[in-house]
Structure 1
Amino acid sequence: MFGVLEGTGFEVIAPEFGECLIGHARVERLWTGARWSEGPVWFAAGRYLLWSDIPNNRLMRFDETDGSVSVFRQPSMNANGNTVDRQGRLVSCEHLTRRVTRTEHDGSITVLADEWQGKRLNSPNDVVVKSDGSIWFTDPSYGIMMDYEGERAESQIGACHVYRIDPISREVSAVATDFVKPNGLAFSADERTLYIADTGGTHQVDGPAHIRRFAVGDDGRSLSGGEVFADCTAGFFDGFRLDRDGRIWTSAADGVHCLNPAGELIGKVRIPEFVGNLCFGGAKLNRLFIAGTTSLYSVFLNVNGISPL
């Protein structure tokens, strides 16, 4: 069956997308009341999800055990993207303070990066942790372009790069410097490929709205390639994640787009508002949590996300 499956939230574009679906599963809205939701991250040990409500300057918490939603942290320093490191600690990109931080197990906050070559970062946006403990993040200028999601300021760097934080020395190095507005990023399961979105079209006429694909060097810290992997057909690709079979599940203006390993659009999870980001969670990593503009959604799928640990 092709087209929108009535009442489910799914749109099947290619037959292979049907293999990702559970026949009776439906998209659920778990909570609403945000201004711009972003950066969902799953904490398996506590069975809870954290995500950012950037303009409201807070991190929210969804408890899977009882369905409750509460404020995890406020102020959040206009936190955007979040992830979990190999020790189960929260790593966040903060627009207001223009830094990447780690929340320790005792609740204290460690600054991991706030400058490059002596100049302040723009406004770190999204972040991933590699198995060697290195932290990779994007640094577009969205948080300093207005006061709504940060604080208006001039860029000291004068460009928008992708960076790596060394796990031992904490040196910050630029790994990709030819982006307009680098945004979401994610490694393949074997970490030999890094996918990075460019949303430069938000503020540049005919600017990019695509995901690029890079090969990770044998040294584990350098990138090569960077060809366009897929163009967005509805708005922009923001945040995204891969499943264990190499498909990319990515945010878009009309919901979540599913791309096969060749970069072909095979299906959509329709959401009635712009989607900023998403992640896999639940006990078997088969529940897709979706950060819509004002709401948190989820849907169970017949696929499994890549374990972050």
Structure 2
Amino acid sequence: MKADIASNTFYDLFPQITCLEQATTGFIFTEGPAWDKTDGSLVFSDIKANTIYRLKEQNNLSVVRRPSGMSNGLAFDTEQRLIACEHAGRRLSLYSLYDPIGPIVTLADRYEGKRLNSPNDVIVASDHSIYFTDPNYGLVNELQTPKAQEQLFQGVYRLSPSGKLTLLINDFAGPNGLALSPDERKLYVSDTERQHIRVFDLDEQGRLVYGRLFAKLDVSKGEGVPDGLKVDAEGHVYCAGPGGVWVFEPDGSIIGLLKIPEITSNLTWGGVSGRTMYITATSSVYKIPVGVTKAGF
């Protein structure tokens, strides 16, 4: 296992860096890993295969939903229902994994009467608010869903518990991964096209204030771009990016780069105690023991 280590904190976060394991493989474009606490398993998207999978131990793999609307980012709400960012559906949808004949509910598909671009990644706050990014990546020919872009920007949105959709910011070139700080007072968003991460303070109404650059990723470190983001219980920020998983202190200083053998797209925590990190990377899902859990795991 290789790593570029800038701080001894790296060894606290990855105490067994030689234990990176390929948990499953054979996919086209994996993304959106999310841990199902009810079942004790990982769900993830294969965007180009139009499928959401469930992974249990011993490589026990099953299909959760197909077609998936070419889902990308996934997250569980506070009732353990699955929220999916659908590229082809151009919507944020809600689905109960334990009611297979139940409906797939559209949470958001339009802003001011115009269709969303292609929701990409999503997180759920403790107050039930949902934050998601909406770049235009699902509208390109590569995903075989070419459509006209109706929004004149690529935004970051908040869906309130009452169902009100609010545009938080629209000046990103390619908004992608996003994550909340442990106290939910800061929102981190990666901009794929500009190769950096920005951070914003959140006011009492969930609006973004005081935006600034958090960290710049070095594209010379390997293949990949700033993509999925996560924050652990101590406030360290993890970003799937060039060469693997980048790790930062809360102040933006670099801790290190966990190198992954394939182009890395996203990550999450799982396992019985929340001390396993699962990493989606092109054709595979990897896992590694970690020293710090995710906040609220």
> TM-score higher than 0.5 here?
yes
Of residues 124, 134, 142, the one that matches 2:137 is 142
Determine which of 171, 176, 187 is the counterpart of 1:183: 176
Name the structure 2 match of 1:3: none
Q: Secondary structure at the match of 1:143?
A: helix
Cα deviation, 1:110-158, whole Å, max 9, x if unaligned, reads: 1000000000000000001111111111000000122x32511121111
**Aligned sequence identity (%):** 37
What's the offset of the Cα at 1:275? Answer: 0.4
Separation in 2 of the partners of 1:259 and 1:253? 14
Tell me which amino acid in the other structure corresponds to 2:199: R
1:290 is matched with: 279
Match in the other structure for 2:99: 106
Cα-to-partner distance string for 1:236-256 (whole Å, 9 max, x where unaligned): 210011111110111012111
In the alignment, the residues of structure 2 paired with residue 23 and residue 113 of structure 1 have an alpha-carbon distance, to the nearest angstrom, of 41
Runs (4 or more) in structure 1 with deviation over 6 Å come to none
| Contact preservation (8 Å) 1:122, 1:143 | yes
Q: Which residue identity does 1:15 align to in structure 2?
A: N
Could you tell me whether the CA contact under 8 Å between 2:17 and 2:288 is conserved in 1? Answer: no
* Aligned length in residues: 290
Deviation of the 1:25 alpha carbon: 5.0
* In structure 2, C-alpha distance between the alignment counterparts of 1:241 and 1:55, rounded to whole Å: 23
| TM-score scaled by length of structure 2 | 0.94
Q: How does 1:30-179 map to 2 (within 5 A)?
A: 30-64=23-57, 66-104=58-96, 105-107=98-100, 108-146=103-141, 148-149=142-143, 151-168=145-162, 170-179=163-172
Q: Deviations over 1:91-124 (max 9, x none)?
A: 0000001000010342321100000000000000
Partner residue of 2:211?
A: 226
What does residue range 199-278 of structure 1 map to in structure 2 within 5 Å?
199-200=192-193, 208-219=194-205, 221-234=206-219, 235-278=224-267
Amino acid in structure 2 at the alignment position of 1:81: G
- C-alpha contact 1:25 1:300 (8 A) present in aligned 2: no
The alignment yields a C-alpha RMSD, in angstroms, of 1.4
Q: Deviations over 1:193-213 (max 9, x none)?
A: 00011112xxxxxxx111100
- Note if contact 1:285-1:307 (Cα within 8 Å) is conserved in structure 2: no
Equivalent residue, structure 2, for 1:13: 6
* SS of residue paired to 1:244: coil
Structure 2: gaps of 5 or more residues: none
Change (3 A) 1:223 1:167: same
